[in-house]
Amino acid sequence: MGMKQPKIRSMKYEEFKNNDYLEHMVEELREQGVNVAVSKLDDLINWGRSNSVWSFLLGTSCCAIEFMALGAARYDMARFGFEVTRNSPRQGDVLLVMGTITHRCAPLMKRLYDQLAEPKYVIAVGGCTISGGPFKNSYHVVDGINQIVPVDVYIPGCPPRPEAFYYGLMQLQRKIKLEHFFGGVNRKQPKPEED
Amino acid sequence: MDIKDKILKIVPEVTFTEQGDTVAVVPLASFRKLAEALRHDPEDAMDFMRDIVGMDWGETLGALYYLESTTSNRRITLRTETDNRENPVIPSVCDLWATAQIKEREAHDFFGIIFTGNPDLRRLFLREDWVGYPFRKDYDMKSNPLNMTNEEDDDVAPTYELGSKGELICGKNVVFAPEEFVINMGPQHPSTHGALRMRISLDGETVKRVDPVCGYIHRGIEKMNESLTYPQTLALTDRLDYLSAHQSRHALCMCIEKAAGIEISERAKYIRTIMDELQRIDSHLLYFSCLVLDMGGFTPFFYGFREREMVLDIFEETTGGRLIQNYNMIGGVQADLHPDFQKKVKAFIKHMRGIVHEYHEIFTGNVIVTSRMKGVGVLSREDVISYGATGGTGRASGWSNDVRKHHPYGVYDKVEFKEILRTEGDSFARYMVRMDEIMESLHIIEQLIDNIPEGEYRVKTKPIIRVPEGIYSQSVETSRGEFDVILESHGDKSPYRLHYRSACLPLVHTLDKACRGWKIADLIVIGASIDLVIPDIDR
C-alpha cells in the first residue's frame, strides 16, 4: 500500500517544498490506526473541510491590504475555496493574523483565538507576526505570535505576495486533508490545565 | 512685518536658533501669552497647528510647536522647556487649537509631560497600566514585559491644574457617565481599516460621543529610530502609512538630504514626483474600493482593484515591490526606471481616463450613495483648520492646504495642476475630492513623463551619513494629508529624535466632531470617507 498523499488539484504534490512534515503526520496516523470505514469517512469530511476554509481575519496592517488584492479579480481566491471571509470568530475556521501584533493587541488576539470553534487553525502572515520583523527591538511588539497561540502555517514576506498567500493557504488545505477527524486528537494545543 | 519682529514685540525674551530651521526659544512663563497672541493675531493668525513634538533634552523635557498661518502659509516653530524632569509642566493650548488636545495626550503618553488645563490627559497609545514613559532617554526598555491580562478602560480622565503655590491639583473629567449606553467597536472590525478601536456613546441609534482608543498597532517606530543609522531609518517609514509608502519615504529622504547638504539629480526628482503621484492614484483607488465595500457594495470594489493592479505592476517592474516599494534612498532612488516604464505609464493614463466613467456610473450617481453621503458628517472650514485635518478631508471643507502648492518640493513647482477644493464638507464632498484628485494626478504625470531628464538616478553619498547639529523638518502631501518629518540631530550617525507628523491622527480626532448627532450606521460611512490608515496613527 502506498503512502497516503494529500492531493490538491491546483498544484502537484512534488512541487511543494516541504513534504516531509506531512509524511511525518501520515506516519503518526498509521501508527494510531483506524479502521477502513472510519478513515474513508474521514477522507470525505476532510475533502469538504479543506475545500471550504472560512478565514477569520485579524488584519492590523499592510498584509491585510495584500489579502484584499487576493479577493479581487486578478488573483481571485474563490478558485481555491477560501473566498469566504468572516469577521466573527463564531463563523471562522482559520485565524489569519496579518500584521504586527503589539503588546496592547496580544490579549485581544488570544481572546479571539479562544472564541474560535474547534477545529481551528492559525496562519501567521508576514514578518512582523512571525518574528516581530523589522520591529523586533521595539518595546511594544510581540516577537512572534507562536508565543501566544499555536501556529499552523507561516507565510513570510513583507508583505507576502499574493502567490505566497496561496502557497500558504494550500499548505493548510493539505494539512487539513490529513487530519484524523473521528476519535483521536490531532491538535498541537496542550489540554488546558485544571486549576 | 517679519514674524521674528512680531514675536519679539510680544515677548522680548525670546531667542532664535538658526541651526537648520528657525526655532523661537520661548521661556515657559511667557509661552502661553505668545501662543495666544499668535493665534489671535488680527492680520496673520497662526490658526493651523501642524504638530506638537515632545522632547527629552536630558536635563529638561519640553516640546516643539509647529504653527502655520492659513492665510499667508508662513510657518514658525516654538520651543519651550520645562523647569525640571521630576515635575514637567507646560500650560495646555488646546483651547486655541483643537488638535492640541490629542497631540498633548501623545506627548504626555510618551514623555510624561503634564499639560495643565487639558481636559483629557489619559494615555493615548499605551495601556493604562503601563509603567514609565518610553520616549524618555532613561527609559528601561525591559521594564514592561508582555502583559496578557485584559485591559480595563477608565471612564474618567485625569486633568491637572496649577494651584496658587505652584503645586499640581489633579482633577477628574468624566468621559462616559455610568448611565450612558456605551458600545465598543474594534479593534477587530472590518470597517475600521485596521486595528482602531472606538467607544461610542449612543442615545438610541444616535451617536453622542466617539472616543477613539489608539495604540493597537503602536510599534514605537520613533523610539526605534534613535538607535538606527540614517539609511536604516528609511525602511520603517514605508510601514507607517503603507498606502503612502513612497511619499513618506520621500519626506524623510528630503529631510536628511537637506540636513546633510546632499544635492540630488534632476532625474531623481522627476522619478520621485512621478512615483508619488502614482502612489496617490493607487491609494485613492483603494479608498474608493474600501468605501464601497463598507457601504455594502461589492462590484465597484473589483473596479477599483482592476486599475490598482495596473499601477502595482508599474511599481513592481521598477522597484520590485508591490505594496511597499523601498524605493527612495538618501541621494536619489534605488534603481533606474524600467525601460518599459514610460510606455506603461502612458498606457495607464489613457486607460484610466477612458474608464473612470464606469466608477461614476455605478457608484457616484447611485441613489443610495447620494442619500447616505450628501449632507452627512459635515465639517466646517473652521473645524478642519482647528483640528488640523489636512488632505482631502480639509479640502472637501474648503480649506486650501495642499503642501504641493504652498510649499513645493520635488518638481511640483514646474508642473501646472489644480488644487481640488469643495465647500460642502460632507462625506460626499470628501469622496469627490479623491476622485477628482486621481484625474489631477494623471495630469501631473502626463506633464512629467516625457520630460524626465537624463542623468544619474542616485548620487554617491558617504558610507556613513552624519547630520550636522540642529532641528530640521520637511513636509510632503501624502495621499491622506500633510506628513511631516521632524529631525533633531546632535551630529551623530543616528538621529537624537525623529518624529513623524501622522496625517491620520488629526483625522481620527475629528471623527467625534463629524459623527455627533448622526446615526451609528453613518459612522461607518463617515469613517470610510475620512480615509484612515491606522498604522499611520499609531506609528
- What does the DSSP 8-state code read for residue A157? S
Instruction: Kindly identify which residue of chain A lies nearest to residue B293, measuring between CA atoms.
Output: A68
Q: Are the C-beta atoms of B270 and B500 separated by less than 8 Å?
A: no
| Cα B221–Cα B227–Cα B228 angle in degrees, nearest 5 | 80
Say how far apart CA B440 and CA B420 lie, in whole Å. Answer: 8
Note whether B426 and B380 are within 8 A (CB).
no
Whether B224 sits inside 8 A of A74 (CB atoms) is: no
Q: Tell me how crowded residue B413 is: count the other CB atoms within 10 A of its CB.
A: 9
Burial class (CB in 10 A: 0-12, 13-18, 19+), A118: exposed
Q: Do A99 and B323 touch (CB under 8 A)?
A: no
C-alpha cell at B65: 510647536
**Which chain A residue lies closest to B232 (C-alpha atoms)?**
A134
Q: Does an H or E element contain B487, and which?
A: strand B481-489
Any B CB within 8 A of A100 CB: yes
Cβ-based neighbours of B367, under 8 Å, separated by 6 or more = none
Please report where in the chains the cell 492531493 appears, as a residue. A7
Q: Which pLDDT value is given to residue A190?
A: 55
Which residues on B lie below 8 Å from A141 (Cβ)?
Answer: 219-220
CA pair distance B19, B469, nearest whole angstrom:
7
Chain B: residue nearest A137 by CA? Answer: B224
Q: How many CB pairs under 8 A join A and B?
A: 127
Backbone torsion region of residue B204, taken as left when φ is above 0, otherwise alpha when ψ lies between -120 and 50, otherwise beta: left
Asked whether the beta carbons of residue B194 and residue A64 sit closer than 8 angstroms, the reply is: yes
- Whether residue A2 has pLDDT greater than 50: no
Q: Which of B136, B150, B184, B218 to mutate to test the interface with A (most CBs of A within 10 A)?
A: B218
Interface of B with A in 300-339 (CB under 8 A): 301-302, 305-306, 308-309, 312, 322-324
How do residues A112-157 score in pLDDT, each as one tens digit?
898 888 788 999 998 889 988 888 888 888 888 988 898 989 999 8
Cell 527609559 found at: B139
A178 or B414, which is more confident: B414
Contact B480, B241 (CB under 8 A): yes
Contact B219 A135 (CB under 8 A): yes
Q: Which residues are paired to B61 by β-bridges?
A: B56
C-beta atoms surrounding A190 within 10 Å: 7
Whether A9 has its CB under 8 Å from any CB of chain B: the answer is no
Is A141's CB within 8 Å of B220's CB? Answer: yes
Contact B324 A158 (CB under 8 A): yes
Cis amide linkage into residue B187, ω under 30° from 0: yes
pLDDT of the residue at A123: 92
* H or E element that contains B482: strand B481-489
Of the partner residues A65, A100, A107, the one whose CB lies closest to the CB of residue B219: A100
Q: What pLDDT, on a 0 to 100 scale, did the predictor assign at position B351?
A: 92
Pick the CATH number of B221-499 from 2.30.30.30, 3.30.930.10, 3.40.190.10, 1.10.645.10: 1.10.645.10
- Judged by a CB distance cut-off of 8 A, whether residue B223 touches chain A is yes
How far does the CA of residue A28 sit from the closest CA of chain B (Å)? 34
Q: Are strands B61-68 and B48-56 parallel, antiparallel or unpaired?
A: antiparallel
CATH code of domain B3-148: 3.30.460.80
Query: What ranges in B21-131 are assigned the alpha helix state H?
Result: 28-39, 100-111
Which of the given ranges, A4-8, A9-13, B406-410, has the highest pLDDT on average? Answer: B406-410
Q: Does A183 touch chain B (CB under 8 A)?
A: no
Q: Are B348 and B496 in contact (CB under 8 A)?
A: no
Look up cell 473521528; give the residue.
Answer: A182
Rounded CA-CA distance B26/A71 in Å is 54
How much is the pLDDT for A50? 82
Cβ–Cβ below 8 Å for A62 and B535 = yes
B230 interfaces chain A, CB cutoff of 8 Å: no
Tell me the DSSP string of B177-244.
Answer: -TTSEEEEE-SS-GGGTSS-EEEEEEETTEEEEEEEE--TT---HHHHHTTS-HHHHHHHHTTTSGGG
User: Dihedral sign, CA of A56, B534, B228, A104?
Assistant: negative
Strand B328-329 vs strand B332-333: parallel, antiparallel, or unpaired? antiparallel
* pLDDT at position A36: 64
**Alpha-helical segments (H) within B320-402:** 341-359, 367-373, 381-387, 391-395
The whole-number mean pLDDT for each consecutive block of 10 residues of chain B, a chain of 539 residues, reads 80 83 86 87 86 87 89 88 84 89 90 88 87 86 83 83 79 86 85 82 90 89 89 87 89 89 88 91 91 86 90 90 87 87 91 89 87 88 90 89 88 88 89 91 90 86 84 90 90 88 90 89 89 87
> At which residue does the C-alpha cell 517609514 appear?
B237
Tell me the chain A residues in contact with residue B133 when contact means C-beta distances shorter than 8 Å. Answer: none
User: Counting beta carbons within 10 angstroms of the beta carbon of residue A32, is it exposed (0 to 12), middle (13 to 18) or buried (19 or more)?
Assistant: exposed
Please give the average per-residue pLDDT across A46-59, as a whole number.
Answer: 84
Q: Which of A87, A103, A134 sits opposite B239 (nearest CB)?
A: A134
Burial, B143: exposed, middle or buried (Cβ in 10 Å; 0-12, 13-18, 19+)?
Answer: exposed
CB proximity A107 to B under 8 Å: yes
Which residue shows C-alpha cell 494615555?
A: B123
**A134 touches B at CB < 8 Å:** yes
pTM to 2 decimal places: 0.87
pLDDT at A194: 59
| Candidates A57, A64, A106; nearest CB to B146 | A106
Task: Cell numbers for B61, please give them.
Answer: 523635557
Chain B neighbors of A134, CB-CB under 8 A = 235-236, 239
Of A61, A66, A108, the CB nearest to B188: A108
Chain B touched by A106 (CB under 8 Å): yes
Q: Which residue of A has its CA nearest to B133?
A: A139
Residue in A62, A105, A137 nearest the CB of B324:
A62
3-class DSSP state of B252: helix
Say yes or no for a CB contact (<8 Å) between A105 and B187. Answer: yes
> In chain B, what is the straight-line distance between the N-terminal and C-terminal CA atoms, in Å?
38
Domain coordinates of chain B in residue numbers? 3-148, 221-499
pLDDT category of residue A182 using cuts at 50, 70 and 90: low
In 3D space, the residue among B16, B36, B35, B32 whose CA is nearest the CA of residue B24 turns out to be B16
Chain A residues 29-88 with a CB less than 8 Å from chain B: 57-62, 64-66, 68-69, 72-74, 87
CB contact under 8 A, A99 and B151: no
B324 neighbors A158 (Cβ within 8 angstroms): yes
Of A66, A102, A105, the CB nearest to B323: A66
Closest CA to B529 of B398, B389, B418: B389
Cβ within 8 Å of residue B449, ≥6 positions away: B274, B342, B345, B346, B349
